[in-house]
Structure 1
Amino acid sequence: MNAKAVTNEYAKMRHRQIGLIIALLAVSASALTAYTSLGSGLLDRLDDPDGFGWKVMFGGLGMGVSLVAPILLAVLASRQVEIEHTGNGWLSSSTAGLTPGQMCRAKFIALGGLVILATIAWGAALIGFGAAIGIESPIPGGRWTAYIGALIVINLAVLAFHILLSAKIENQLVCVGVGIAGILIAMFSQILPDWISHLTPWGYYALTIQSAYVGTEPVYFDLPYFSVLGLAVVGGGLFLAITGRFDRQEA
């Protein structure tokens, strides 16, 4: 990847409100998780030896991510790609030797690094929140790490999809509309068969939820490692293949 192309993408972010969107991504899911956890009686069971507090925060994070990540990732990709459509950036970059496919990969690397940091912030903020309010059971560090890693893969897959969609469709309202549809898919996938959830990247938000109520108590679920790995391999392969086709077409 052309390092200069990635640097140019960061320069384009200055007037695209990318920093604000990343901040919303980092803060909103964590805030929703804290709010729903407190509403679940977290403060009344801080001394629960079975880790009630951590379980409700796992479930709250899954819900919060499903509500905010699809639309914010859509807006993030749309804002970064829109400038190429409005400013004839595809053609001007092509004359400088930078193909549309290379530009899409540069956008993914530039935005992807910020998305990874925002996702890590979810885990760090919630661990800090749980420790600050006094949850007495041990922090499930391994489970948190695995879950945040899975969310990074899912977020990057959704981001890659929206970069390709925004590059192909000039009307960015369509792309944002797809992001809104992604919220519905992520939410309804929680009650759909797993095989249906595997068909879209948004369905993986439901597949990887780590805790939910069974009866009156929250319980942990196993993380579907192979499903997340499959998303990474298939999603990455498709992104490279499609941007490779962009390389061979005229801007």
Structure 2
Amino acid sequence: MNTKAIANEFAKMKHRQIGLIIVLLAVSVAALTAYTSLGSGLLDRLDDPDGYGWKVMFGGVGMGVSLVAPILLAVLASRQVEIEHTGNGWLSSSTAGLTPGQMCRSKFVALGGLVVLATIAWGAILIGFGAAIGIETPIPLGRWAAYVAALAVINLAVLAFHILLSAKIENQLVCVGIGIAGILIAMFSQILPAWVSHLTPWGYYALTIQSAYVGLEPVYFDLPFLSVLGLAVIGGGLFLAITGRFDRQEA
């Protein structure tokens, strides 16, 4: 990996409001989760021995990330790639020996690191929130860690898709519009068969939801580790293959 190219991507972020979008990604999911959890009567059942508080917060994360992540990840990728289209960056970088594929991979590494940090921030903020309001049952740290790791993989898959899309389509409104469609897919995938959810990266937000109401009480669901692993392997392979093709194309 070209470290100079990655450093250059971070330099480009200074004028693209990337930091603000990352903060929004972290804070908005946490805020939506806290809001929906409080609306589910969390404060009235802080001493519930079955861990009601943590269960509704897990469910709230699933809702929050489905509503926020698809569009903000689309905007992140679009902002970072748009500069190459408007400033003839593909050609100028190519003359300096940096291919379009290398640039896409560098953008993914730079943005992906920030997206992972934002995803970890969701878990940290919400654990702190639960402890601060007084949930009395032990914090399910293992479940939190596994869920945050799964969401990080899904977020990276969505980010990679949008980097490729933004690189191929100059009209970034189209790319952002697909991000909005991703919200609908993530939400409707919750009521669709699991095999349908496996067909798009946004469907994995529904597949990995960790808690939902069954009757009158929330229950935990098992995390589909193999599905998430498959997304990582297939998504990573496709990204490398497609950016490899970009390397052989003229800018």
TM-score range, shorter chain: over 0.9
Once residues 20 and 171 of structure 1 are traced to their aligned partners in structure 2, the CA distance between those partners, rounded to angstroms, is 22
Please tell me whether residue 225 in structure 1 is matched to residue 250 in structure 2: no
Query: What is the deviation of 1:215?
Result: 0.3
Show the counterpart of 1:63. 63
Residue 7 of structure 1 aligns with an amino acid whose one-letter code is A
Query: Residues 56-100 of structure 1, C-alpha deviation per residue, up to 9 Å, x if partnerless?
Result: 000000000000000000000000000000000000000000000
Question: Following TM superposition, by how much is the alpha carbon of 1:50 offset from its aligned partner in structure 2, in angstroms?
Answer: 0.4
Q: Percent identity?
A: 89
Letter in 2 for 1:47: D
Query: What's 1:9 paired with?
Result: 9
Q: What's the RMSD between the two structures over aligned residues?
A: 0.2
Q: Which residue of 2 aligns with 1:248?
A: 248
Task: Provide Cα deviations, 1:15-59, integer angstroms capped at 9, x if missing partner.
Answer: 000011001001000000000000000000000000000000000
CA distance in 2, matches of 1:198, 1:59: 20
Q: SS where residue 212 of structure 2 aligns? A: strand
Structure 1 residues not aligned, in runs of 5+: none
Q: Which residue of 1 aligns with 2:141?
A: 141
Q: TM-score under structure 2 normalisation?
A: 1.00
Secondary structure of 2:138 counterpart: coil
Which amino acid counterpart does residue 180 of structure 1 have in structure 2? I
1:29 maps to what in 2? 29
- The count of aligned residue pairs is 251
1:94-173 → structure 2 map (5 Å cutoff): 94-173=94-173
The answer to whether residue 78 in structure 2 is matched with residue 78 in structure 1 is yes
In the aligned structure 1, how far is the partner of 2:26 from the partner of 2:43? 24
**Which stretches in structure 2 are left out of the alignment for 5+ residues?**
none
Q: Distance in 1 between matches of 2:234 and 2:113?
A: 20
Task: Using the TM superposition, give the Cα deviation of residue 248 of structure 1 relative to its aligned residue in structure 2, in angstroms.
Answer: 0.1
Q: CA deviation at 1:169?
A: 0.2
Runs of at least 4 residues off by over 3 Å: none
Whichever residue aligns with residue 27 of structure 1, its letter is V
